[in-house]
Structure 1
Amino acid sequence: MIRNRRKPRRAAQRKRSHLRLLLDVLLAVLVLGVLALVVANERFGDTETIAGAARVVDGDSLEIGSHRIRLEGMDAPELAQMCTRGAAEYPCGREARAALVELAGVGMVECRADRRDRYGRLLARCTANGVDLNRAMVERGWAVAYGDYGSSERAASDAGSGLWAGEFDRPQEWRRVHGGLAEDAHDGLSGFWDWLRTMLQGRMPLDENGGNIQ
């Protein structure tokens, strides 16, 4: 009789163990979800501000001093990318770069960043002469939404501005086909992993002029 009583007891223990494991998994998923939402809405980490004359690399990246900066939340055609307008091809990557050069001007560009991407570039929101460069590039149709600026993209598409005046491959698709750098959209979950990578790698402290302290 004693042996027969042990079997249901063991089954109950296994059931409780499985339930505890399920609860642990659900809790982990919940924590990651909350962290992703915090990244999307509140943003993590200390903010670094870099300001100075900028050299525009392409339609979504620039350099200020030794800092490599990727404009966050948007994605512009790669420098070598071609698009079509009417029946003709045109170098939309170079036109996107020219649009950012015009917006950035020759004065001071200020960028605020709190994380880096997988390539070590600062992911930043940048302004010049009071203009939000990230948003303006999407509004003018020379970049697409990439985790942000969805309403700006829709407005540019409706107006037929920039890239939307013809046909084009989205930059992430063009990179996939032509072997460019793989990039995740700058949304909440990828933002959390970028932030975590930044925290684990550590940051170089900035001097008063925004340069790296050696």
Structure 2
Amino acid sequence: MYLSKRKAILVISTSVLVLFFTYTDTKSQDIKITDGDTIKINGEKIRFSGIDTPELKQNCIKEGQSNPCGITAKQILVDKIGNNKVICISEGKDKYKRTLAECFVNDESLSSYLVRSGYAFAYRKYSKKFIPDEDYARINKIGIWGMKFKYPWDYRRNN
């Protein structure tokens, strides 16, 4: 049984459209997580705007014990991203030529998630957007708010 010319064109067109949308939807991302607030997507370095996380070498103190809070911040981000697609909304470039952006996984802001989890600070010098998330973590002593710590900007200045 042969298809009419019109039906054949319709089937081919539909197949091409399905293939196109499938390819663009599942196109892989090469994601590397540098630290708690910086990632690379397909080679583009992206710094999360409006937040600051502890540095990788930074430790906090919990119940007299050293806690690698910088590594923990990175691991929380690794776990949250998992195999999900990351969508970023660029807000420009910083003085180091990194893209400043707010990034999302499954429509959830990674910045908000990190701050609310207590492993990032609202970087008030640049944005007030994440202050409510920080207030929540601080009041509930979540993450580093239940420890002794140095703010990342103070740690960088002294190390």
Query: How is 1:3-152 mapped onto 2 (pairs within 5 angstroms)?
Result: 52-146=29-123, 147-148=127-128, 149-152=130-133
Identity %: 34
Q: TM-score, normalised by structure 1?
A: 0.58
* Residues in 1 aligned to 2:140 and 2:31: alpha-carbon distance in whole angstroms: 30
What is the RMSD of the two structures over their aligned residues, measured on CA atoms? 1.2
Aligned to 1:55, the other structure's residue is in SS state strand
2:23 counterpart residue number: none
Alpha-carbon deviations, 1:157-200, whole Å to 9, x = none? Answer: 0111111111110000000000xxxxxxxxxxxxxxxxxxxxxx
Q: Is the 8 A contact 2:30 2:43 kept in 1?
A: no
3-state secondary structure, aligned to 2:56 = coil
Partner SS, residue 77 of structure 1: coil
User: Which segments of structure 1 move beyond 6 Å, counting only runs of 4 or more?
Assistant: none
Which consecutive unaligned segments of at least 5 residues does structure 2 have? 1-27
Do the aligned partners of 1:71 and 1:124 also contact (CA within 8 Å) in 2? yes
Which residue pairs with 1:197 in the alignment? none
User: Distance in 1 between the 2:55 and 2:91 partners?
Assistant: 24
Deviation at 1:130, TM superposition (A): 2.2
Please give the alpha-carbon distance, in whole angstroms, between the structure 1 residues aligned to 2:81 and 2:33.
8
Shift of 1:90: 1.1
Aligned match of 2:135 = 154
Larger Rg: 1
Match of 1:204 in 2: none
Q: Distance in 1 between matches of 2:30 and 2:87?
A: 9
For structure 1, the 5+ residue unaligned runs are: 1-50, 179-214
More helix by percentage: 1
Q: CA deviation at 1:53?
A: 4.2
| 1:81-107 per-position Cα deviation (integer Å, ceiling 9, x unaligned) | 011111011111000000111111212
Find the aligned partners of 2:53 and 2:91 in 1 and give their Cα distance: 21
Answer yes or no: is the 8 Å Cα contact 2:114–2:120 preserved in 1: yes
Q: State the distance in 1 between where 2:63 and 2:142 align.
A: 14
Report the secondary structure of 2:118's partner residue: coil
Q: 1:166: which partner in 2?
A: 147
TM-score when normalising by structure 2: 0.77
Q: Secondary structure at the match of 2:72?
A: helix
Q: Which has the higher strand share?
A: 2
Name the residue aligned to 1:20.
none
Whole-angstrom distance in 2 between the partners of 1:92 and 1:65: 27
